[in-house]
């Protein structure tokens, strides 16, 4: 995953791409959490925070697009 996903980049994606990336990021975060819970050591301790922020950015843009359509 890149260091940070830019909002302009997310806006250029199609709805299907956003949904797929959202699922992928959530799966990656779940995997990191399970490794950490099992006593493993993360190679990058800041990665969960980056993933949470990327997920939040995608969800924000999905909600913006949804609210543009609905009056």
- What does the chain come to in residues? 71
Task: Output the CA–CA distances (angstroms, integers) from residue 65 to 5, 9, 12, 51, in the order listed.
Answer: 18, 14, 12, 21
Q: What is the pTM (predicted TM-score) of this model?
A: 0.86
Model confidence at 3: pLDDT above 90: no
What's the CATH fold of domain 7-69? Helix Hairpins (1.10.287)
Model confidence at 57: pLDDT above 80: yes
Q: How far apart are CA 63 and CA 70, in angstroms?
A: 11
Which pLDDT band, with edges at 50, 70 and 90, does 42 fall under? confident
């Amino acid at each position: 995953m890149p260091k940070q996903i830019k909002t302009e980049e997310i806006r250029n994606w199609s709805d299907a791409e956003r949904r797929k990336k959202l699922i992928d990021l959530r799966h990656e975060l779940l995997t990191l959490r399970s490794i950490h819970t099992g006593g493993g050591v993360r190679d990058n301790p800041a990665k969960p925070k980056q993933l949470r922020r990327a997920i939040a950015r995608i969800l924000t843009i999905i909600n913006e697009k949804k609210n543009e359509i609905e009056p």
